[in-house]
Amino acid sequence: MIIALLCITGALILLDKYAFGEFGISQPLIAGTILGALFGNLDAGIFIGAMLQLIFLAGLPIGREIPPDGQSGGIIGVGSYLLLRISNAEGHALLVAILFALAGALIGGQLEIVTRRFNEKMYRRFLKTGEHLVRCHLLGTLTAFIRGLCVMLPFFALAYYITIPPALPTMSRSLLMTISISVGCANGLYLFFKKSKIIYIVVGVLCGLVSVVL
C-alpha cells in the first residue's frame, strides 16, 4: 500500500513539470519536504531533497536539450529512502537512495523524450483536424502521470523489498553534504560562466572541503 501511495503522490507532484506549468513544486527540495511531511520523516525529506537539489542544479531544459530529470530523481531519492529505512540501517538506506535518485533521473530523462514525441503527435493531430482540444490536453496530462508512475514504481518496489547486506559500504549525512555542496558549487559556477566544466568541478570540490573543515 505504501508503495502505491508513494507512486501516486510522486506522480501527481511530477505533473508540476510541464503538465500544469512548472511552479517549482516538483523541485527536489519542495517535493522532498512534501513527501517527508506526508510519510512521517520531515527531517529526512528536507535534507535529502536539499542535497539532490544541489546535485541537479545545472540540469536546465534549455532549448531542445533534455537533461537528466532532476525532479524525478529527487522524488525517487526521498521516497526510496523512506522505504529503505523500514528494514535497513541509515547509512545503507542513504547510499542506495542517492544511487536510485541518480539512476531515476537518467531514466526519467529518456522517458521524457518518449512522452514529448507522443505529445507532439497529439499536437499535430489537433492542428490538422482542429478538433478534440480538451481530449488532447487530457491525454497529455495522462501521459505525464503515467511517465511518473513508470519511473518511480520499479525503484520504490526495490526499495521496499530489498535488505542491504551489512558488509556493503554506507554513506553518512556529512559525506553526502560534502559531495552535494561540492557539486552544487560546481554547478553554480558552470551556470554563471559556461566555461570548461572541469575547472569548476575542482573549485566546487575545494569549496565543499573548506565547508567541512570550517
How do the domains of the chain map onto residue ranges? 2-170, 172-214
Residues 179 and 152: their CA atoms lie apart, in Å, by 24
Residue 76 in contact with residue 100, Cβ under 8 Å?
yes
Three-state SS annotation for 56-125 = CCCCCCCCCCCCCCHHHHHHHHHHHHHHHCCCCCHHHHHHHHHHHHHHHHHHHHHHHHHHHHHHHHHHHH
199 sits in which H/E element: helix 197-213
C-alpha cell belonging to residue 179: 559531495
The pLDDT, as a whole number, for residue 114 is 81
Instruction: Work out the pLDDT band at 152, boundaries 50, 70, 90.
Output: very high
pLDDT tens, position by position, 15-51:
887 667 678 888 999 999 999 999 989 999 999 999 9
Mean pLDDT across the stretch 138-149? 83
Nearest alpha-carbon partner for 166 in 88, 71, 82, 85:
88
| Grid cell locating 147 | 511517465
Mean pLDDT of the chain: 83
Which residue's C-alpha cell is 482542429?
A: 130
pLDDT, one tens digit per residue, over 91-143 is 999 999 999 999 999 998 888 888 778 777 776 776 776 666 677 667 778 88
pLDDT for the residue 113: 81
Task: Give per-residue pLDDT as tens, 74-93.
Answer: 999 999 999 999 999 999 99
Q: What percent of the chain has pLDDT over 70?
A: 78
Task: Give the pLDDT of residue 168.
Answer: 87
Q: List Cα–Cα distances, 10 to 2, 7, 28, 57, 203, in angstroms.
A: 12, 5, 11, 20, 34
Q: What are phi and psi of 51, to 5 degrees?
A: -65, -40
Which DSSP category does 24 fall into? S
Q: What is the pLDDT of residue 205?
A: 65
Which DSSP letter does residue 27 get? Answer: S
